[in-house]
Every structure is written in structure tokens, then in C-alpha cells.
Structure 1
């Protein structure tokens, strides 16, 4: 965070609300982030996938296509207009992802080929 100074010790941690459709951050997030912005406050955007193999949950945004970047710009602008600082949380869920979220149902990309043993199922609606 070189060159970034926080004027206040106020940080909004990333909150993944599962409200991004087709991997695109939606317009309603402009209001969401601007309502939580204070001058000098620091907001961390929701987890944004770095590739089509990155999602760990359904309805999360991406950041690897121009369409994704353009969708994020109004949210970042709204935070900046109120004097806030915005960072995007980049993520790749790795083996914690579900086959259903992967292109063509392929196994999730990970540094290990062993799946996570879990009975947890993702909320697909």
C-alpha cells in the first residue's frame, strides 16, 4: 500500500454478498459502497475472481475481463467521490471451488489434486 495513507482507522472488510450476476458487479453496489464510505476510510471490495476458474461461490464478480473492470469503475468512483480509498480483493478459490463453478465442470485448479473432504454444499439457486 505504498503511497496510501489512512486518515482514519476505519476499514470496511470485504463482504461477499453473492449478488453479482454473470460474474459482473451489479449497479446496486454503487449505493452499498458509497453508504459505507467516510472521508479517509478504506474499503476492500468483495472477492473478485482473477479468471474463469477462480470462483469459490456462485454470484461473485470477476475482474479479468474488460466488462468486469468497467462494471467496477462506478463503485470505485462513488467511494473516491466521498474521499474514501478502495482496493479490490483478488482471489482464486483453488481446490475449495466446486466443479459446478468451473468451466465445463472440470476439476478446480489447485496446487494439489486432492479434493477437500467436506459435506458442505454451495447454495445454488
Structure 2
């Protein structure tokens, strides 16, 4: 699934950080897998979940770092062409940033994230 707009992660990360009210870390110059960095953080999430009375205290049921690594760990960025779909009448789209923010709003409203 694609939105049809062109974006770069280095543009989007600061916007996502701003949505959460935090400062974005500098864009890494090399791939930094999330899975090893998240190893052993289940207790930290359980504490966050309790502090904010979230719905899911089990980090493994909420997210999979390996999947994020597969999506974001590509050595090249993915650029898609929606021309054929638009010619077939699928002309509506949502900007990628708005797609993320809508999902974050829903996850917050449903108490999955603080």
C-alpha cells in the first residue's frame, strides 16, 4: 500500500518526533537495527503502560522490532508510482505524514500509546 506522495524518512522523522513532543535524534549514517536495541525492554514498556494506564502492557503483543527492521532497514528508499492506479480512477490519497498522525491519534485514543 502506498499513499502516492514522495517522502524521505529524514524529513518525516523530525515531524513524527514533534508530534510526540520530543526532539528527533540525528539521522544515523548507517543502519541501526531496532531489534537488538529493544531486547530486554519489555519491563520498561510495562512500566510505561502502567504509568499511563495503557491497554497493552506486553511489548511483544504490541510491536515487533524485527518487522520494523525489515521495513526501515532497506539500503535504498522505496519510491512508488501511482500513475496506473490514478488513471484507473483511484485519485484520492492522504499524505504519508497525515497517515502516520491519524494512526497515532487512533492508537492514543484507544489507549495503546501515551
TM-score of the aligned structures, taking structure 1 as reference length:
0.22
Greater relative contact order (Cα < 8 A, sep 6+)? 2
TM-score of the aligned structures, taking structure 2 as reference length:
0.24
Q: Which has the higher helix share?
A: 2
Q: Which has the higher strand share?
A: 1
